[in-house]
Amino acid sequence: MNIGIVCYPTFGGSGVVATELGKALAQNGHNVHFITYSQPVRLSVFSGNIFYHEVTISDYPLFDYPPYELALANKIVEVAKYNKLDLLHVHYAIPHASAAYMAKQMLAAENISLPFITTLHGTDITLVGKDASFETAISFAINESDAVTAVSESLKQDTYFYFRNVAKKVIHVIPNFIQLDQYDFVKAKKDRSLYASDKQKILVHVSNFRKVKRVEDVLRMFDIVRKKIPSRLILVGDGPERSNIDRLCRELDTCAEILSLGKIVDPNGILAVADLFVLPSETESFGLAALEAMAARVPVISTNTGGLPEINKQGFSGMLSNVGDVEDMAKNAIHILGDEKVLEEFKENAHKQAEKYDIRNILPIYEALYREVIAKAKK
Ligand code: GMT
């Protein structure tokens, strides 16, 4: 198949999922065309059947708000026409689904068919999308998509809840995935001493440091844990909450025990040395970072919100608490880290849980949906 993929190229999970999916599709022999405004961060390896098409917007003084959606639709049309795309897969509804719809109409005017699939990822529904200023347009684009997928059952239900006008649209749940064989860490384990002594446990948090991630809760729970268990906290990522975090670590007097590593393209090397992953999000449609941790045999302390309970199994791959309950998170962390046997069991179970989400199990589901959508469009 000739497949176009539209996504955000940044560090966000939706861009990571889109990129990894494209790479896996290419490995399976499909031609994959990424269409976005800069090269996706995880797209470092190119092969003969992976292509990248950059969307550029001309800078004009009148444009306080450059019309990205229009430029994207234009680029989709160009790529679809000259590469004979069979299908377009857009990740994150805003504004990709509307741009896809616009491109589809432009192509239809030239008798070219381009069915498109929209994958809903999270805040496009739970935070941004439900905003009144987007709702009508997003509902329309979802309804006009040839197929819609959501990354968890929870996100599917949220979509029906927030967007009453899409009640009749079928939403397929296709969970996010990892490539399990990329988490073989024998070599990386050697680097543990760079971050902590043998006596210390390593807690890790990876996010884009937005408010929704509640990174302050990571610091507050760590402050309780470190008083019981010698440990260090590694923070990976950066974003708007960063200065609040720096202030809080000074206030709690924990800065010496915290390593802030900033944005790292591939955090696997850090996960390799971690004992526990912390994800105390306010809302999380899936929690790809938690799945990546589990794949690396790292148990997860998370909140019980959104899609997290679907991925992180209570008492098996990790433990879950109510949003903001840092005492409970700390208690759970101490339970897991305080006993080597318990820790080892959680580590093994985390890996077992991640196996279910291996790309080998998820890719065929996407391919089947692609085939179904293309066949329908040809009728
Ligand atoms: O909504 C965001 O935080 C951005 C978005 C993204 O682009 O990374 O994240 C969402 O999609 C990820 C990939 O499907 C999910 O793993 C995240 O849980 C989800 N974020 C939220 O729901 C907050």
Q: Tell me, what CATH number does 116's domain have?
A: 3.40.50.2000
The answer to whether residues 247 and 168 belong to one domain is no
The answer to whether residues 186 and 123 belong to one domain is no
Give the pLDDT of the chain (379 residues) as one tens digit per residue: 999 999 999 878 899 999 999 999 999 999 999 999 999 988 877 788 999 999 998 877 788 888 999 999 999 999 999 999 999 999 999 999 999 999 999 999 999 999 999 999 998 898 877 788 889 999 999 999 999 999 999 999 999 999 999 999 999 999 999 999 888 765 566 678 889 999 999 999 999 999 999 999 999 999 999 999 999 999 999 999 999 999 999 999 999 999 999 988 778 889 999 999 999 999 999 999 999 999 999 999 999 999 999 999 999 999 999 999 999 999 999 999 999 999 999 999 999 999 999 999 999 999 999 999 999 998 8
Q: What's the confidence (pLDDT) of residue 309?
A: 98
Ligand 1 midpoint to CA 280 (Å): 14
Mutation test of ligand 1: which of 120, 123, 151, 215 has the most ligand atoms closer than 8 Å to its C-beta? 123
Ligand 1 midpoint to CA 325 (Å): 22
Indicate the length of the chain as a whole number. Answer: 379
The answer to whether residues 314 and 366 belong to one domain is no
The separation between CA 177 and the C-alpha centre of its own chain, rounded to angstroms, equals: 10
The answer to whether residues 196 and 164 belong to one domain is no
What is the span of the domain harbouring residue 280?
180-355
Say yes or no: CB of residue 40 within 6 Å of ligand 1: no
The answer to whether residues 230 and 315 belong to one domain is yes
Say yes or no: CB of residue 333 within 6 Å of ligand 1: no
Q: Quote the strand ranges of the chain, DSSP E.
A: 2-6, 31-36, 50-54, 87-91, 116-120, 147-150, 171-173, 201-206, 231-236, 258-262, 276-279, 300-303, 318-321
Total domains, the chain: 2
> Strand order of the sheet with strand 31-36?
50-54, 31-36, 2-6, 87-91, 116-120, 147-150, 171-173
Please identify, by atom number, the ligand 1 atom nearest to the C-alpha of residue 123. 1
Alpha-carbon span 66 to 77, nearest angstrom? 19
The answer to whether residues 195 and 343 belong to one domain is yes
The answer to whether residues 370 and 351 belong to one domain is no
The answer to whether residues 350 and 365 belong to one domain is no
The answer to whether residues 60 and 162 belong to one domain is yes
pTM: 0.93
The answer to whether residues 206 and 99 belong to one domain is no
Say yes or no: CB of residue 151 within 6 Å of ligand 1: yes
The separation between CA 79 and the C-alpha centre of its own chain, rounded to angstroms, equals: 26
The answer to whether residues 49 and 157 belong to one domain is yes
The answer to whether residues 122 and 253 belong to one domain is no
